[in-house]
Amino acid sequence: MLYNSIFNTDKKKLAVLIDPDKQDLTKTALIAEKSQAGQADLILIGGSLISGSLDDTIDVVKQHSDLPVFLFPGSILQISGKADGILLLSLISGRNPDLLIGNHVLVAPFLKKSSLEIISIGYILVDGGKPTSVEYISNTKPIPADKPDIVVATAIAGEMLGNKAVYLEAGSGAEQHVSDIIIREVKKNIDIPVIVGGGLSDIKSVEKVCNAGADIIVTGNAFEKELNLIKLFADKIHLY
């Protein structure tokens, strides 16, 4: 079970997020190679909008890396049996029924028949300082960054509903990552792994979220701009 080896351990992990619409397959191959060489722990594939071939992206990643590949779907169109697993996201911070259960019902028969390892995730969108693609596409509002009590209550509810991890998301290209206070309070109040993504563009921000209690750190935008950051981030995260 990949969940036990990646998500349910005491070691912090780096997840490299690849959005197929933000780079061509040549760049995708480079990111996969750097992720492997830099000792990242897993690769996530997904985005708010994907117009290219998800299968082609996964094929290229697997040709250039042995790392586990998980789908990080922004919609039910972003499903492929070629990945190793899927983060089955329920947007529990919002009230859009399609993203709470509706889309899940539509893809459930396919997922049941697939060989994908399915990891249910309570997905919580936190205000990162500016409107994001996920906010617009999901038609939901993020939880205000100065309301940690609401984030904590939402994370607790996610755990009670059976989610295997909670994902605190500030959004792609966020001006501010999820605050140390929010991460620390969420970690203190739940017993499942805490994943943090959005706005993590430098070592200082990575250190902050690690110290606050994040178990898995997800970064994509920063690596698209500078591939050598993958090893720097992985080295720092693996010190914890």
| Predicted confidence (pLDDT) per residue in 129-154, tens digit | 999 989 999 999 999 999 999 999 99
Give the per-residue pLDDT at 39. 98
If phi > 0 it is left, if psi is from -120 to 50 it is alpha, else beta; for residue 74 that is alpha
pLDDT at position 173: 78
What pLDDT, on a 0 to 100 scale, did the predictor assign at position 143? Answer: 98
CB atoms closer than 10 angstroms to residue 106: 11
Tokens of 150: 């609401």
Residue pLDDT, tens place only, 177-227: 999 999 999 999 999 999 999 999 999 999 999 999 999 999 999 998 899
pLDDT at 9: 86
Band (pLDDT 50/70/90 cuts) for residue 49 is confident
d(CA 165, CA 145): 20
Output DSSP code: residue 119. E
Residue 146 is encoded by which pair of tokens? 């100065």
- Torsions phi, psi for 148 (to 5 deg): -60, -30
* Alpha helices by DSSP H, 175-228: 180-189, 203-212, 221-225
**Number of other residues whose CB lies within 10 A of the CB of residue 117:** 15
For the chain, how long is the longest CA-to-CA vector? 44
Average pLDDT score over the chain:
95
* CB-based contact 69:16 (threshold 8 Å): no
**pTM across the whole model:** 0.97
Fold of 2-235: TIM Barrel (3.20.20)
Phi and psi (nearest 5°) for 155? -65, -40
**DSSP 3-state helix, strand, coil percentages of the chain (rounded to 5)?**
40, 20, 40
Q: In terms of C-beta density within 10 A (0-12 exposed, 13-18 middle, 19 or more buried), how is residue 188 classed? A: exposed
pLDDT of 158 over the 80 cut: yes
Cβ atoms of 122 and 166 within 8 Å: the answer is yes
Contact (Cβ atoms closer than 8 angstroms) between residue 156 and residue 189 = yes
- Identify the band that residue 231 occupies on the pLDDT scale cut at 50, 70 and 90: very high
Locate the domains of the chain by residue range. 2-235
Percent of the chain scored above 90 by pLDDT? Answer: 87
Tell how strand 216-219 and strand 117-125 pair up: unpaired
Band of residue 76 on the pLDDT scale cut at 50, 70, 90: confident
Residue 86: which pLDDT band, with cuts at 50, 70 and 90? very high
User: Are the CB atoms for 128 and 136 separated by under 8 Å?
Assistant: no
The predicted pLDDT at position 77 comes to: 87
Q: What is the token pair recorded at 102?
A: 């509706």
Q: What was the pLDDT predicted at 21?
A: 87
Residue 112, burial from CB neighbour count under 10 angstroms (0-12, 13-18, 19+): exposed
Handedness of CA 42, 120, 24, 66 (dihedral sign): positive
